[in-house]
Amino acid sequence: MSHSASTDESAHPAPYRDRVRSVELAFATLAPPLAWSVHLVASYALASYSCFPDGTPQASPSFDGLRSLLIAIDIVTMAIAVVAIVISYWNWTKISEEMAVTQSPMMETGEGRTRFLAIWGLLIGVGFLVTVGFDFVGLWILQPCG
């Protein structure tokens, strides 16, 4: 592969990588799906145990605070997604002007790794916020054991 004469071979493909912390990028990309997984398992366990305590369907939950507990789980999960969105956006603003330092295709140089993770953290956070938001609305509209 030929490079232009003005390309600095020693330049790092992500020169602004020191502006963001890896743990923040990891949190923003991993925390929302992990929180949603815990949300899904916990909500299913609580609702199924409360609505089918002995294996037969109940008209109302055996646990009076079921709806409140499910709402609290949704709120915590949405809060984690919002924190991931804020962290991702904050990181992206710090590195959004990171420019390519080579003429090589991005796949070969790894250019923009930090921007890639920041944008994906933002997309993942928004996606899981919307997903849990639909569940949250359903808790207000539908009967707990309906």
Q: Summarize the confidence of residues 42-67 as an average pLDDT.
A: 86
- pLDDT of 74 reads 97
User: Average pLDDT over the chain, rounded to whole?
Assistant: 80
Q: Summarize the confidence of residues 7-17 as an average pLDDT.
A: 53
Residue closest to 81 by CA, chosen among 122, 47, 140, 113: 122
Q: How many CB atoms lie within 10 A of CB 51?
A: 20
d(CA 42, CA 110): 39
| Angle subtended at Cα 106 by Cα 124 and Cα 98, rounded to the nearest 5 degrees | 70
Decide if pLDDT at 38 tops 90: yes
- How much of the chain exceeds pLDDT 70, in percent? 75
pTM: 0.76
d(CA 115, CA 120): 8
Handedness of CA 24, 26, 28, 30 (dihedral sign): negative
- pLDDT of 2 reads 43
Q: Summarize the confidence of residues 112-141 as an average pLDDT.
A: 90
d(CA 63, CA 50): 6
d(CA 43, CA 69): 9
Q: Summarize the confidence of residues 81-103 as an average pLDDT.
A: 77
- pLDDT of 113 reads 74
End-to-end alpha carbon distance in the chain: 63
Q: Summarize the confidence of residues 12-39 as an average pLDDT.
A: 81
Q: How confident is the model at residue 53 (pLDDT cuts 50, 70, 90)?
A: confident
